[in-house]
Amino acid sequence: MYRKISNYIEEYLTGNEEKILCIDGARQVGKSYIIRELAQKHFENYIEINMADDKVGDKLFANVRTVESFYIEVSVIAGDKLKDRENTIIFIDEIQEYPELLTLLKPLRIDNKYKYICSGSELGITLSKTTLTPMGSIIEKKMYPMDFEEFLIANSVGELVINHMRKCFEEGIPLDEALHNKILYLFKSYLYVGGMPDAVKSFVETKNVSKIREIQKDIINFYSEDASKYDKNHKLVIKRIYDMIPSNIENKVKRIQYKKIENIDDVRYTKYVDEFEYLISSGIVLDAKAVSEPKFPLVQSSSKNLIKLYMNDVGLLTSVLYKNNINAILDDETGVNLGAVYETVVAEELKAHNHELYYYDRKKVGEVDYLIDNYDALNVLPVEIKSGKDYKNFRALPKIILDPNYRMTKGYVFNNEREIKKEDKIIYYPIYFIMFI
């Protein structure tokens, strides 16, 4: 299945970059698969070492601290493949299992004997806690579940169609009704399948909802296991926060209320710093920070104390909310509010496109689902998400767009309707066009 990050990885593998590329992302997003596929394609001598397997097995690398000892241990398992830099690559998978190896990446780069590439499912956490982070010697690249465009490609939607859709988005022209219905159906399918490659593969090959849900259930269990390995003292609270996300995001007040985590009054964000750091840095949740002023750049007025959390994959969320009943999604069943689902899929999409997530919520003004920095115009783009028929029911968006202090030129409202409409500075788009933000 096509992944956009493959172009980036391939450029690294075939280029002259001496820094070591480290792909960081949650478990099951497809890191190892895409690295393995591309590295084997471009290098005659491919060596893969999974440090998670080594840690529970031979422990060959447990005490490696020097370049020489690293080479010796590699030669134990693949000595016949250690040739020249031009034709030899060493893929160090799950490198965070031995944090000392991260420190070793700098001397390995300086030695420059072979080409290296690394990945890790908790790499961000380990890098933040490693005292001798090899800055200047590594390139850290985030990888996320498959976004909607990648999902379309996996379902045989061709490049011509996607380019046509992009042109329609840019020119404000709606898709014809047949194409709209097809893409909207695939978008709603994406809501229950999500972007985890195994789930997408199962959908493409079998359309078996039970099988897809089993895959998603296993992934959620993997995340719980990883949390317990990371910190036994915090694992129960990490699990509690993670388990709260689906119900919390459906509440009227969606930001995390710290007193509800352990039913403790007068508790603050600082009590749970480690838990939030794990959940966010490991990539298993996405965070949106509140801003006091919707001005560019948003980070200047953001608050880490007032955060909303989303699961990193919309398929995992709908698995928890609806189990095997996908009619709630596909048929817009009466009484089922899909607002939380639509917010989650947009969070996932924006994050996959390298946007930081912010939101705005003031009592006298109202709430805007997302704000993103618009670096072209050096202002802010507000984004509102509507899953139902009342897609014009919002309060804050017109107020902040028309406020001259904020210098906004437009705002987007994404909904299920086919038509594209513009009213003053607000543009209404079909929900699937979020793929082009």
Domain ranges of the chain: 5-142, 148-436
125 band by pLDDT with thresholds 50, 70 and 90: confident
Report whether pLDDT(430) > 70. Answer: yes
Tell me the pTM.
Answer: 0.94
* pLDDT at residue 132, rounded to an integer: 65
Angle at which helices 5-14 and 31-42 pack, to 10 degrees? 40
CB 114 within 8 A of CB 70: no
381 band by pLDDT with thresholds 50, 70 and 90: very high
Report DSSP state, residue 33: H
CB 143 within 8 A of CB 47: no
- Match domain 5-142 to its CATH number in 3.90.1150.10, 3.40.50.300, 3.40.50.11810, 3.30.56.10: 3.40.50.300
CB 397 within 8 A of CB 413: yes
* pLDDT at residue 123, rounded to an integer: 83
CB 268 within 8 A of CB 290: no
* pLDDT at residue 431, rounded to an integer: 98
**What whole-number distance in Å separates Cα of residue 336 and Cα of residue 338?**
6
> Per residue in 34-47, is it b (16+ CB within 10 Å) or e — as a string?
bbbebbeeebebbb
Report whether pLDDT(244) > 70. Answer: yes
* pLDDT at residue 56, rounded to an integer: 94
Antiparallel, parallel or unpaired: β 88-93 and 20-24: unpaired
Report whether pLDDT(302) > 80. Answer: yes
Q: Which of 331-345, 376-390, 418-432 shows the lowest per-residue confidence on average (mean pLDDT)? A: 331-345
* pLDDT at residue 334, rounded to an integer: 59
* pLDDT at residue 131, rounded to an integer: 67
CA atoms within 13 A on the CB side of 190: 28
Tell me the mean pLDDT in the region 45-62. Answer: 96
Report whether pLDDT(336) > 80. Answer: no
Report whether pLDDT(356) > 80. Answer: yes
CB 97 within 8 A of CB 51: yes
Tell me the mean pLDDT in the region 13-41. Answer: 95
* pLDDT at residue 227, rounded to an integer: 76
Name the average pLDDT for the chain.
Answer: 93
